[in-house]
Amino acid sequence: MTIKTLNDKYQLITHMPTCVPPKQKQLTTAQANDSRLTTRCMWIVEVINGRLKTLFRANDKIHHNTSLPHKIDDSRISASLINKYFPNFGTNKYDSTIANTMKSKLNTTNRLENILADHNIDKKRTFQKMAPDSIPDFPKLSLDSICNNITLGPYQLKQSVIY
């Protein structure tokens, strides 16, 4: 219902991260790229929500139905105070570069997927120790190369530790 309201009433184009369809083991490259664009945009929303909750503990609580009528006012007051007295996130000078890079790579082929398929590694579900020269044409990347060209920032790498 919310998506319909955003689309119809406010003429906004909405996107949601893609879920793996039934009987499919992982997202296709196109689905993963589309989902990555969405989650990259969602990051700033999560940062702002986190700031609202940590700076104003009342926003972090579960509210009873009786307090809901003034909850929106409380949120607006909290947001106004943050806007007035705390540094603005603004736009990062690299934001447009990152956005353009992500859009330009949206329809590129996944070379790693092709290498894994060629060596039948995508079919193997057991872990095995591999030597550095097991797959001679496997890409060797530095951390800077991964951050600048693949994840377009350190956020995804920091998140990967959790998984």
The tens digit of pLDDT for each residue in 45-104 reads 788 888 888 888 888 877 778 777 888 888 889 989 988 888 776 566 667 787 788 888
3-state SS record for the chain: CHHHHHHHCCCCCCCCCCCCCCCCCCCCHHHHHHHHHHHHHHHHHHHHHHHHHHHCHHHHCCCCHHHHHHHHHHHHHHHHHHHHHCCCCCCCCCHHHHHHHHHHCCCCCCHHHHHHHHCCCCCCCCCCCCCCCCCCCCCCCCHHHHHHHHCCCCHHHHHHCCC
- pLDDT, tens digit, 9 for 90 and up, residues 106-146: 888 888 778 877 877 766 566 667 787 777 777 788 888 88
91 found inside a domain? yes
Q: How much is the pTM? A: 0.52
117 and 56 within one domain: no
Q: Does one domain contain both 75 and 7?
A: yes
Do 2 and 78 share a domain, yes or no?
yes
Specify whether 117 is located in the same domain as 157. yes
In a domain, 102, yes or no: no
| Same-domain pairing of 41 and 82 | yes
Q: Which domain holds residue 35?
A: 1-97
To the nearest whole percent, how much of the chain has pLDDT over 90? 2
Residue 21 in any domain: the answer is yes
pLDDT value of position 126: 63
